[in-house]
Structures are given as C-alpha cells and as structure tokens.
Amino acid sequence: MSILKINDIEYDMSSPINLEFRDRYIKSFGDEPPRAVETNWYHIDGFQLDLKCEPNYLYDVQFYDGNEQLIYETKLGNNMFSRLNRKYFNGIKYVIKQNGNFVKEEVINFEGKRVFIVFDSSSVGDTISWVPYCEEFRKKHNCEVIVSTFMNYMFEKTYPNLKFVHPGTVVNNIHAMFTFGWFWDANKEPVNPVTIPLQKAASNILGLEYKEIQTNIHFEPKSRPYQEKYICIATNSTAGCKLWNHPTGWKDLITYLLERGYKVVNISKDGDRIEGVENLKDDSMINTMNVIHHSEFVIGLSSGLSWLSWGLGKHVVMISNFTEADHEFTSNCTRITNPDVCNGCWNNPMFKFDKGDWYWCPEHKGTERQFECHKSITPEMVINKIQHLLI
C-alpha cells in the first residue's frame, strides 16, 4: 500500500483493488472485464456441457461438429448445462461468448479418458462385425475403452487393449458412453443403417472413417472332428427372406459335393433333415467354431454363422440376394446373387424389416414372386461359383 501524508492526513495512493470499484471503472470506458468461466463436459447419452460462472451473467454457447457445422446454440448461466439430442460422435467443439466477445472454446478430446461402448444387440453377426471399431476408436483417441458385449469370450484375448465387461455392469468414472445398435433414429446414428454396410453402423456412431476390418476372434483349435475333407453348410437363419428358398437348392448342391468326395456338415443349430448331411450333435459355440476351423470352407447365408466363419479366417460362400453386395463383408468371400430378379430389399430405406413376420417380403408377399430373390438362385449358379475352391 502506498501512503501520502499531508498535514497529518494520510491518503491511499495505491491502485484500487476492490472488484466492484474496478468493474465500475472499466465499464465507464465502455469495456466489460473478462470473467472466470469454468466448464465441464462428458459425452454420455449425448454431449453435455456444464457451466459455472459469477451469478447473474449469461453466456452465448454454440456447439459445432467435426465438420464445423453448427449443431445447436443456447444461453447458459451459473450452474446451468446443455445436453445435445445427438447421441453419436462426430467431433464436438463448443464456443462461449458474451455480448459478442469471445470467452472460451474447446475441441473435446478423449485422450487419457475412460470411454464405455455398449452393444445393444446380442446378434452374433452384429457383435462380430462391430468389435474392431472399438479398438480403432481406442487407437485414434489414445483413451481407455471398456466394452460390453454378450460374447466377450470371443474377443478378450485377441483385443487385449480393450477391457470387456458383462452386460449390465456398472462402469464408473467414464467421460463418454456410446451404444451400438440399429435404432432407426437420426439422433442415435447419422445414417439409416439399412442403407450402409453393417460394419459402417459402428464406425458412424464412433465418428471413424469407414473401412472394412477383419474381426479377430479368439479360438484355440481342438482335434480334427472328421478325418475326411469336409465342407460346412449353414442352412438356417432368423427370417424366411434370408433362406435359400430354391426348392431343390441344398439337395442338389449337397449331391454334387458328395460326388466330389467331400463330407458335408450342417453347422446350423438343430440342423436340417437333408440326405447325406451330418448335423452337429454338439452345437455349442466352442464346438461349432472347431468344426468351422477344420473345414475346407463354409457355404451359408447372410447370417451370424457366416460372420463367425469369416471372423475365424475361413472363406465364406454367401448365398444372399436380399442384401446389397457390400452390406456384409466383401473380403475372403464368394457371393452368390441374381441381379435379374427383385433383390436388395433389406437395404431399401422404403422398407423396415419386421422381425415378427417370418414371411416378410415387402414387395411380393403372398404372390408367386415371394422370395424370388433366393428362389431364382439355382444349384448350378452356386456350383459354378465354387469351382475355384474345390480341390
């Protein structure tokens, strides 16, 4: 403190430090002093920003995505927050201003933070297709990723940098949580999932650049189940539209394979009554994987068993004409289609699959053309396509 004494009267000559006096002094010149603003954020069920500041002040807050597109703007004051409806991640930057003056901005960063990824679907195909993108997210953001699937045992050893927990597990101290699934909700995923490859649904939700990634499934081979060379087939699935509905398709194909000296093993749960085919007596997942592992290749449908075979590194012959050619995996795959008939309904945004309707065929149900996409695929078409795989 600087004191000047005149005629025994002391005068304080130091600069004013009282905040109220300082504010009045600065305002008299038309300027507003910068004020302390504290923020906290997390991305659980959407991005949320919490704001703390001096009472009775409001700030303009804008939210942008990774493409610098304005998502939302609002006004926040002390102990207020804003949460975005958008659940998926596509980059987030928030900008805080007061009276048009810049106060603070931040591009959020997950580095060093804990992120929880939850699989809403228990489907074998969905699970196998989406797991690699959890690892891609971890590598891109250099963060700790905890994953909840219904099939953790398939991935715990092949993705050691991910932490797997059982569904329903409470995970504490997370900064973000994302959910994988098919939602038909623009706030949960940016693109209608039926219009894109299955794996891209995961990369879109996590804001990753899409590329097909081979899933790495943990499996420890056991002894060979059959001494002769054999081919696996998977004839069953979860909807009528997925089946190979040609009246003699499987029968004629199997006859051909038997004549070529192959044993044929049906890996579908509960099997099928097809002459010359051996059904699995033990259709547990571990035994099924072992049978797939030792086979020459797998002939199946657009189903979880095809994804399982692909994840085990086995070549898959896929009979699927109701999906587009890139909806499932494209590597290590021979795909059987017939573009000359009705096809691709699964990926048409005009139609929504009804899992409660076994006979779902959105354009031709109840007519002679029902399921023509697969009825029209002949055994000869399949046989011609697999010649390069036969020894």
Please tell me the predicted confidence (pLDDT) of residue 26. 47
Please tell me the predicted confidence (pLDDT) of residue 14. 61
Q: Tell me the pLDDT of the chain averaged across its residues.
A: 92
- Whose tokens are 């004549």? That residue is 259
Tokens coding 38: 């504290």
Q: How confident is the model at residue 355 (pLDDT cuts 50, 70, 90)?
A: confident
Report the SS3 class of residue 206. helix
Please tell me the predicted confidence (pLDDT) of residue 36. 78
| Residue 167 identity (one-letter amino acid) | P
Burial class (CB in 10 A: 0-12, 13-18, 19+), 93: middle
Please tell me the predicted confidence (pLDDT) of residue 12. 61
Please tell me the predicted confidence (pLDDT) of residue 322. 94
18 pLDDT higher than 60: no
* Model pTM score: 0.87
Please tell me the predicted confidence (pLDDT) of residue 28. 46
* pLDDT tens track for 36-63: 799 999 999 899 999 999 998 999 999 9
Name residue 328's beta-bridge partners. none
Please tell me the predicted confidence (pLDDT) of residue 19. 47
Please tell me the predicted confidence (pLDDT) of residue 31. 53
Nearest Cα to Cα of residue 229 among 191, 263, 255: 263
Residues 253 and 170: their CA atoms lie apart, in Å, by 49
Residues 344 and 328: their CA atoms lie apart, in Å, by 12
Residues 230 and 12: their CA atoms lie apart, in Å, by 99
Name residue 264's beta-bridge partners. 231, 277
Contacts 24+ apart (CB under 8 A), 245-248: 245/371, 245/374, 245/375, 246/374, 246/375, 246/376, 246/377, 246/378, 246/379, 247/375, 248/379
Please tell me the predicted confidence (pLDDT) of residue 270. 79
Q: What is the mean pLDDT of residues 330-354?
A: 94
Supply angle C-alpha 123, 125, 130, rounded to 5: 100
**Residue scoring higher pLDDT (270 or 327):** 327
Using an 8 Å Cβ cutoff, are 322 and 336 in contact?
A: no
Tokens coding 235: 């004839």
Q: What is the mean pLDDT of residues 279-292?
A: 95
How many other CB atoms are there within 10 angstroms of residue 21's CB atom?
10
How many other CB atoms are there within 10 angstroms of residue 169's CB atom?
11
Please tell me the predicted confidence (pLDDT) of residue 22. 47
Pick left, alpha or beta for residue 289 (phi over 0 → left; psi -120 to 50 → alpha; otherwise beta). Answer: alpha
Residues 270 and 281: their CA atoms lie apart, in Å, by 9
Supply angle C-alpha 326, 243, 286, rounded to 5: 80
Using an 8 Å Cβ cutoff, are 298 and 282 in contact?
A: no
